[in-house]
Structure formats: structure tokens, C-alpha cells
Amino acid sequence: MRYTKSLLADARRIEIESAEMPDETAEDAIRLRLAMASICGTDMHYFRHFANAGFQLDHPVCLGHEACAYVENANGHPFANGALVAINPVIECGTCERCATGDINMCARKRFPGSATTKPHIDGFFRQYFDFPARCCRVVDQTVRPDHLTFAEPLACAMHSVNVAGITAGQKVLVTGCGPMGLLATLAATARGAEVEVTDLKPDCIAAAEALGATCGYVIGQSGPPSNGYDTVIEASGSPHAFNQALDAARKQGTIGILSLIQPTAVPINLHLNALKEIRSVGSILFTREFDEAVVLIESGTVEFDAITARRFAISETQAACELVAEGHAVGKVLIQPE
């Protein structure tokens, strides 16, 4: 079976190839046909640098870890052919201490598609067909829209940061950065009952956050959030300088949650504020149980994802899709759909 696949051949160079699916699907896997995928900031680091967070790709790889798909061949697993499934891209080992406690994001032996952290690399989802472990796939109702369901993975990441930062109803929260992750963090914190304010360089990104429930936005360079004003700050901009801003904006004994994947850089940090204000800083990576929670929230149909969807491109247009995100002109997510 031949299919269309986008391949990151080198930095800023995506090639479209006609690939051949293997005749056999691995015993633990099912064969899937892409319904919808979306571009993540992680994909963009690989697109720009052929590396992310210090991890260099060894060879060309198909990007994409945010997707939903239709079951093409259940391969003996209990899925109906044609069923729409959400895909949890974390292939945890399932046997280590971390997996036993449910912390699959901490599993040292987990595998992840389209990533240099997994060796040998596994191709991601910016392609027409792929096989993936059946245990990572979750059937949803056919009424769920694929362009909503592809948000399950990034929404789960945002919900995880809200959980590890301990955001509760009534808290005053600042989200720094209104890219897709900041927007989803705004959504997740608002859904939790927090009052959310945001910052960004671009007014149209702030407007998107306000459409999701943010009550106030600060355009960096024009105005700034108040010092000591927030119970929790979620850093979603990826700018290391935003951490200093967060130390200023958090109240005494407040919390900073790091959702963005800040690249390895050396930046002076105002540690005195960390000490004087007894600020708790907590990182978050991927998600644990939040994937199921995100799918349930999407199934509820209550989230307006159209407001945070920038544009759609076909698989064969993956280069143009990545360029659009790289230029910084997209407000919200850019989606990749079948031809």
C-alpha cells in the first residue's frame, strides 16, 4: 500500500515522498489512516534546527505527534474498522517504577514519534497511513470533529501544567505567551474556574486568549502585568526572560508553572525574588492521566477550537505549513490534513 508522507530531510527542508506501508502490522499495533494532525512547537524546533532542546536528529524523520485517525485495520484488536480514535503519542514501557505510578511522562524507556529523544527515531503522523500501538488509541464518538480531536495531545499538556501548578477555582492566574500552548493553558485554567490574564507581543494573539475567557491582556512593550499580582503564573512563551517576568508577577508564596519548552540558553535569573517571595517553580512535560481528561473535554463539544485554529494544509503542503508557523504569523494551531 503506497501513501503520501512528509519527511523532514534537513533543517527547513521537507520532502514529500510516496512511501510503502509494510505488509504486516506489528502484533501490538493497529493500522490507521490520518484524520487530522497539528503542528507543535516541538515540530517547529526540529524544522528550524533539525534538533530540539539539545537533542539532534540522527536521520530524516516524519514529524508530528498530535493527531487523530481512522482505524484502517484493527489487526485483531477490539476496534471497529473506520472508527475515529484519539492517539496518545507516548508509548510508555509499561513495566518501570514510573509507569507503575502512572507517571508515563517520566518513563525513561518511553518512545515518542517524530522525536530525536527516541532512538532509533519513529516516524510521526504527518503522513496518510501509519501503524501505532493499539493501547495508545482511544475510540471517540463519530460525532467528534477530527479538527477538534487533534487538540487532545497539546490540551493534555496544558492541563498537566495546570494540575502540577495546583491551579484551583478562584485563583488569579497569569499566562505568559499566547501561542497555541498559552491559549490552551488559558482554556484549561479558565475551565478550572481560575481568573486568567495573559501577555503576548501580538495584540491578535491576546484577542484569541480573550475569546477563550482571559479577562485581561498585556501587550509586551506597551504595558506589563502588575508585580506580585498572581497566585500562579504559567510560562508558555518559550522566552527565558519570561521567567524573570514571572518571578516579578507572582505573589509571595505563589507558583510558577513552566509549560513552554525553553531551549537550553544561559540567562541571568532573579533568584533573589525566588527566595524573598518563597516562590515555587514547577516544570511540566507531556501529561499523565490528562490525556483522557482532554479527550472527555473535547467530546463534550463545549470548547470552541475554531477560534484557535489558524489554517489547514494538506500533507503535501507541510513545508508551507511549517514556514507559516516559523514566520510567526499564525494565530492558534496550524493543522495538517489528508490530501
| Sites of contact with Zn ion (CB under 5 A) | 40, 92-93, 96, 99, 107, 154
Distance in Å, CB of 215 to Zn ion, minimum: 27
Q: Which of 302, 325, 58, 30 is nearest to 180 (CA)?
A: 325
Closer to Zn ion by Cβ: residue 85 or 220: 85
Place of cell 517524530: 114
Distance in Å, CB of 187 to Zn ion, minimum: 15
Please state the separation of Cα 109 from the chain's center in Å: 20
Closer to Zn ion by Cβ: residue 99 or 314: 99
> Do the beta carbons of residue 280 and residue 252 sit within 8 Å?
no
Closer to Zn ion by Cβ: residue 133 or 254: 133
Distance in Å, CB of 256 to Zn ion, minimum: 21
Amino acid identity at 321 = A
Q: Which of 170, 229, 171 is nearest to 199 (CA)?
A: 229
Give 16's contacts (C-beta < 8 A, 6+ positions apart).
4, 5, 6, 7, 315, 316, 318
Closer to Zn ion by Cβ: residue 124 or 217: 124
Distance in Å, CB of 20 to Zn ion, minimum: 28
Amino acid identity at 81 = N
3-class secondary structure, 203? helix
Q: Measuring CA to CA, how many Å separate 266 from each of 177, 243, 275, 288?
A: 20, 12, 20, 30
Closer to Zn ion by Cβ: residue 129 or 151: 151
Distance in Å, CB of 2 to Zn ion, minimum: 28
Give 17's contacts (C-beta < 8 A, 6+ positions apart).
4, 5, 7
Distance in Å, CB of 242 to Zn ion, minimum: 19
Closer to Zn ion by Cβ: residue 67 or 250: 67
